[in-house]
Amino acid sequence: MMGGAERRHRVMGQGHPSVVLKCAAGLRHPTLWRRHRTAGRCRPGTGDGRERGSGTVLAAGLALVVMTAMALMLLLAQSAVLASRAAAAADLAALAAADALRGITTGQPCSVAADVAARHGATVPSCSEGAGQTVEVRTELVDRSLLGAATGHARAGPPP
C-alpha cells in the first residue's frame, strides 16, 4: 500500500516527468498548474495567448465594413431623392412652358420654365421649343451631392 504523498502524486500526474501532459495549445495540462506555474494560461478553448484580442479586432473590422456600407447606402439614397426632385422640377417647368407656348398663361415659355424651376430649387440649362407646340426642358438642381448634380429632363405639349 502506498503512502498519502505517493497516492497524491499519482492522481495528480506529478510522480514522473513522463506523465507531464500538454494542452492543445502547447501549454502544460491543467492538473499540473501548481508545479509549472501556468495557472490561467492553459484553459480549454483559450489558446496560447497569441490570439488574445483577435475577436475585438475582428468585431471592429466588421463594424467598419457595416458603417461603410451604410454610408454608401445613404449616399445612394440621397442621390435618388435629388434625382426625383430634379425630375419633378423638369416636369413642372415643361408643363408651365407648354401652357405659355399655347397661350394659356402669359410670358415666354423658357422664362416661365426657368421661374417654375427656380421655385423648386433648380436651374434650366436648356429649354427648346419643338414641333407641334412642344417644349423640352432640362433642369439641374442647385443642391449637389457627393456624386454630382442631379438633372432632370421633360417634354410637354398639347394633349394628343
Cα 73 versus chain centre, distance: 5
Rounded Cα distance between 136 and 58, Å, is 54
User: Per the confidence metrics, is the pTM higher than 0.75?
Assistant: no
Query: Quick one: pLDDT at residue 26?
Result: 52
Shortest CA distance to 158 belongs to which of 129, 134, 131, 128? 134
> Is residue 119 very low, low, confident or very high in pLDDT (cuts 50, 70, 90)?
very high
99 falls within a domain: yes
35 falls within a domain: no
Residue identified by cell 480549454 is 44
When divided into structural domains, the chain yields a total of 1
Rounded Cα distance between 101 and 109, Å, is 5
Exposed / middle / buried, residue 54 (Cβ in 10 Å: 0-12, 13-18, 19+): exposed
114 falls within a domain: yes
Q: What is the pLDDT of residues 120-153, one digit of tens each?
A: 999 999 999 988 889 999 999 988 888 888 999 9
93 falls within a domain: yes
105 falls within a domain: yes
36 falls within a domain: no
- Laid out side by side, the sheet with 148-156 consists of 122-130, 134-145, 148-156
DSSP letter assigned to residue 157: -
Residue identified by cell 427656380 is 118
Domain residue limits at 152:
79-156
Specify the DSSP element, H or E, that contains 111. Answer: helix 109-119
137 falls within a domain: yes
Please, which residues bridge with residue 126 across strands? 138
Q: What is the pLDDT of residues 63-90, one digit of tens each?
A: 999 999 999 999 999 999 999 999 999 9
51 falls within a domain: no
Residue 102: count other Cβ atoms within 10 Å of its Cβ.
13
